[in-house]
Every structure is written in structure tokens, then in C-alpha cells.
Structure 1
Amino acid sequence: MFGRKNETPAEKPVMPAESEAAPRGGKGAPTPRRKDQEAARRRPLVPTDRKASKAAERQAAAEERLRVRRALETGDERNLPWRDRGPQKRFARDVVDARFNLGEYLMFAALVFVIASFVVPQDSTAQVYILTAFWGVFLLVFADTFWLSRQLKKRLVAKFGEVERGTVWYGSMRALQFRPLRLPKPQVKRGQYPA
């Protein structure tokens, strides 16, 4: 039961003769010495001319910022920041920019309500109306943004089949920004919905 089983010895595989095997080709060059390889890889940790190195880094960073800024103004997909790239994000931007959003004016309404609450005396009934009006505007903005997110999701599914994670949120947050201050800049006019 626990002992070895009597097995028949397996036949040894036959190895092809050296003449039948494929000829081995050499590298064509001797292996470099380790010392030479390490010397070739060695670089100084600190550049010899630190001022020039810093100036070159600053220049490269400034050029990169300028490229990104131009892309944000023109909508050039290659140089946009990662959060704004992709066909679904572009589509979401175009849908949001084509419609009138109540959320664009939420900050202006909030500023008006704050100023009105300072001007109107604290103990008057007008304060109650001001606060009620502010919450009414806030609820209208919330309802408009909720409606936008539902419509945006429906349009994205119809066009792309599935929605990338975060695209609907991206569009909803864009709807809360004042249109002239949005980045990337709007590429469509109001009412010009993407196909």
C-alpha cells in the first residue's frame, strides 16, 4: 500500500546528434568587463554646473506650463492634463457647454444673499425670506445638476456604450463653474449639442 510500485523503466528520450542540431551562432563580440560597464553607467549625482542645470529645469517647466495653458485654451487633446483627456470627457464638456446651467450663477446668487443678509436687520422678517430664497435657489441648482447628470449618462451610454468612471461627475462639476472661467475653454456655443 505505501511501498513502491513496480514500474517499467521508461525509455530514455533520444537526443539528436551534434551534427543534426542547429548550428550555434556567436554574439560577434566579447562580453564586456563588469568594470567597463559600471564606468559607462557612472554619472555624477550632482551636475557639474548647478546654475545651468537649474536654469534648464526652470525653462523646461515653463515650456510645459505654456503648452498645457495653450491646450486648455484651444482644446488640444495631446497636451491637456490627464483629468481632461479622452473622447468621453470631451463629449461631456461639449454637452455641458451647450446647455444653460443654473449652477453657473450659484456663486453670484450666494454673494447677493450674503450682502442682503448684512444690509437687512437681523430681527426683521426679511431675513427669513432671504434665507428661504437662498435655499430655494440651492434646491433648483441641485435639481438642475441632477437632471444634467442623468441626461449626460444617457447620452454617453448611447454614444460610447459604457461610461468611464468619473465622467458624469466631471461634467456635473463643470456645470457649476461660470462659463467664461471654465478650463478647458468651451469649444461649442450654447445650443450646439454634440452629435
Structure 2
Amino acid sequence: MFRRSKSEAEAVPATSSSKEGGKGRPTPSRREAEAAARARARGPRDRKEAARRQRETRAESSRKVREAMKTGDERYFLTRDKGPVRRFIRDFVDVRFSFVELMIPVLILTMVLGYSGNARLAQTGNLVLMGMLLLVVVDILLMRFRLRRELTRRFPDAPLKGTTYYAITRAMQMKFMRLPKSQVRIGQKLPEHYR
């Protein structure tokens, strides 16, 4: 049997259990794993334990969904967000500059002008706000027509029911608030195939 001398053993670095990409804990023995599996398979003893297990399961499920919404892992998406058509719609909306992005600064400006005490400035602020709302409506209508054209070109056999509502609700949100998180940058060229 090959044996290392004491100096050779000290020269070899000790491996850390928290290595990069590792699970950070030792692998359980077979006996421990089987005992844990039996404990999970055993039904709850009373109503409180059943409710606790159900809460833990729901919390774990919602944690996975939240994490997937941030990272773009489609396995854990909600049903309304799954599929290549929905992914294309999200990318189509996210790649455009939308006038909705300017709504909060315009609202703040309108509020400041409204509380300035000057009636003329307040009226100007209201006109700016109305003009901005009109721009948002026109922008959304143009987006809808372009989106429908692209969907019929890219997904000729896919049903289009609900796609306009999905796109408009996403477009009406500020970019940093959209879930699932945006996977494209503004102005980026979209891939031709989403299958």
C-alpha cells in the first residue's frame, strides 16, 4: 500500500466541503437517506402537522417560481408564461422603448407644476400629462398591430387568443417591474425561431 509521508500530506491542500458549485454539506449515508424518505412518506399525525407540511410545500413552490421568474427558467413558470409564443411576446415587448417608461417622471413633473401655485404652470402640466397619455395609447396600438403581424408570420398555426392582453399588460409595466424578468436589451435583434 502506498503511504504518504507527513510532509507530503501537509503539502496537499485540504478540500473544503463548501467548494464552488458544491452542496455545502456531506452526502447522507444510505441509512439516513432511507430514514428521511420514510419520514416524508409517512402521513401527518394530526391536522397541525398536515397544515405545516402544506405551508412548507407551498412556500417551496412559490420560492421556485420567484427564482425562475428572475432567471428565466421556464420549467417553473406559471402556465400563462410558458411556451415559445409567450417567450416571443415578452421579448418583443422588452426589446422596444415604450412611452410608459416616461410616465412616472411626467406624473412627478405634473404634480410639481400643479402644486406650484401658478395656474398657468398647472395647466401646462395637465396638457403635458394628457399628451403623454395619448402617446402611450398610440404606442400600444402600434405595438399591437406589429405584434399580431409578427405572430402570424412566426407562429402561423398557434392560437392568438389572449396574446394581445398578455403583451399590453406587460407593456404597461415599468421595465424593472416586469416578471418574468427581461432577457433582452432595448434595440436587440430577436432570433428568428422560438421553437
> When the two structures are superposed, what TM-score results if normalisation uses the length of structure 2?
0.70
**Candidates 124, 127, 134, aligned match of 1:129:** 124
The residue identity in structure 2 corresponding to 1:189 is R
**Candidates 58, 79, 83, aligned match of 1:82:** 79
Residue aligning to 1:103: 100
Residue aligning to 1:165: 161
Residue aligning to 1:152: 147
| 1-structure distance, mates of 2:68, 2:105 | 28
Structure 1: gaps (5+ residues):
1-46
Alpha-carbon distance change, 73 to 158 in structure 1, aligned in 2, over 3 angstroms: same
Aligned residue-pair number: 148
Alpha-carbon distance change, 169 to 152 in structure 1, aligned in 2, over 3 angstroms: same
The residue identity in structure 1 corresponding to 2:58 is A
Using the TM superposition, give the Cα deviation of residue 105 of structure 1 relative to its aligned residue in structure 2, in angstroms: 2.3
Indicate whether 1:67 and 2:68 are aligned: no
Using the TM superposition, give the Cα deviation of residue 75 of structure 1 relative to its aligned residue in structure 2, in angstroms: 1.7
Residue aligning to 2:50: 53
> When the two structures are superposed, what TM-score results if normalisation uses the length of structure 1?
0.70
| 2-structure distance, mates of 1:173, 1:104 | 14
Using the TM superposition, give the Cα deviation of residue 163 of structure 1 relative to its aligned residue in structure 2, in angstroms: 4.6
Alpha-carbon RMSD: 1.9
Query: Which structure 1 residue ranges, 4+ long, deviate > 3 Å from structure 2?
Result: none
Residue aligning to 1:183: 179
| 2-structure distance, mates of 1:81, 1:116 | 42
